[in-house]
Amino acid sequence: MNAHEKIREIASFLKGYGIDDANREAELIVSYCLGIDRAALYTDNPQILEEYIPKIDEFVKRRSEREPLQYILGYVEFYGLKIKVGEGVLIPRPETELLAEEAIKIVSSQQSAVSSQKNSKQNSALSTQHPALYSSLVTRHSSLSILDLCTGSGCVALALAREFPDAQVYGTDISEVAIGYAKDNAEFNGIKNASFLQGNLFEPIEKNLKSQISNLRFDLIVSNPPYIQRDDIKSLQPEIKDWEPVEALDGGEGGLDYYRAIIPEAKGYLKEGGHLMLELGMGQADAVKKIAEDKGLIDIFIKKDYAGIERIFIAKLGMV
Is there a single domain that holds both residue 48 and residue 182?
Answer: no
How many Cβ atoms sit within 10 Å of the Cβ of residue 181?
25
Predicted pLDDT at 115: 55
Question: Of all residues in the chain, what percent carry a pLDDT higher than 90?
Answer: 80
Given a cut of 50, whether residue 155 has pLDDT beyond it is yes
Name the band, by pLDDT with cuts 50, 70 and 90, for residue 71: very high
Nearest to 254 by CA among 236, 231, 233: 231
How many Cβ atoms sit within 10 Å of the Cβ of residue 65?
10
Tell me the pLDDT tens digit for each residue of 251-269: 999 999 999 999 999 999 9
Dihedral sign for Cα 76, 78, 84, 86, please: negative
Is there a single domain that holds both residue 42 and residue 126?
Answer: no
**Phi, then psi, of 16 in degrees rounded to 5:** -70, -15
**Which residues form the domain of 29?**
3-65
Greatest C-alpha distance within the chain: 80
Q: What angle do CA 319, 304, 285 make, to 5 degrees?
A: 65
Work out how many domains the chain is built from and give that number. Answer: 2
| Average pLDDT, rounded, for the chain | 90
**Considering the domain boundaries, does residue 161 fall inside one?**
yes
Report pTM. 0.88
Lowest-confidence segment of 18-32, 125-139, 186-200, 298-312 by average pLDDT = 125-139
Tell me the pLDDT tens digit for each residue of 213-233: 657 899 999 999 999 999 999
Predicted pLDDT at 209: 73
Strand partners, 304: 310
Dihedral sign for Cα 107, 260, 285, 204, please: positive
What angle do the packed helices 176-188 and 155-163 form, to 10 degrees?
Answer: 30
Residues in the chain: 320
Tell me the pLDDT tens digit for each residue of 21-64: 999 999 999 999 999 988 888 889 999 999 999 999 999 999 99
**Considering the domain boundaries, does residue 268 fall inside one?**
yes
Distant-in-sequence, close-in-space partners of 236: CB < 8 Å, separation ≥ 6:
228, 249
Nearest to 301 by CA among 94, 98, 251, 311: 311
Name the band, by pLDDT with cuts 50, 70 and 90, for residue 119: low
**Residue range 205-214: average pLDDT?**
74
> What would the DSSP string read from start to end of 37-81?
-HHHHHHH-PBPPGGGHHHHHHHHHHHHTT--HHHHHTEEEETTE
Given a cut of 50, whether residue 126 has pLDDT beyond it is no
**Considering the domain boundaries, does residue 109 fall inside one?**
yes
Name the band, by pLDDT with cuts 50, 70 and 90, for residue 287: very high
Distance CA 51, CA 32 (A): 14
Q: Specify whether the backbone of 232 is left (phi greater than 0), alpha (psi in -120 to 50) or beta.
A: alpha
Is there a single domain that holds both residue 295 and residue 221?
Answer: yes
**Residue range 235-252: average pLDDT?**
96
Here the CATH number for the domain that contains residue 270 is: 3.40.50.150
Given a cut of 50, whether residue 103 has pLDDT beyond it is yes
Is there a single domain that holds both residue 305 and residue 182?
Answer: yes
Distance CA 263, CA 255 (A): 14
Predicted pLDDT at 132: 43
**Considering the domain boundaries, does residue 55 fall inside one?**
yes
Is there a single domain that holds both residue 110 and residue 174?
Answer: yes
Predicted pLDDT at 127: 47
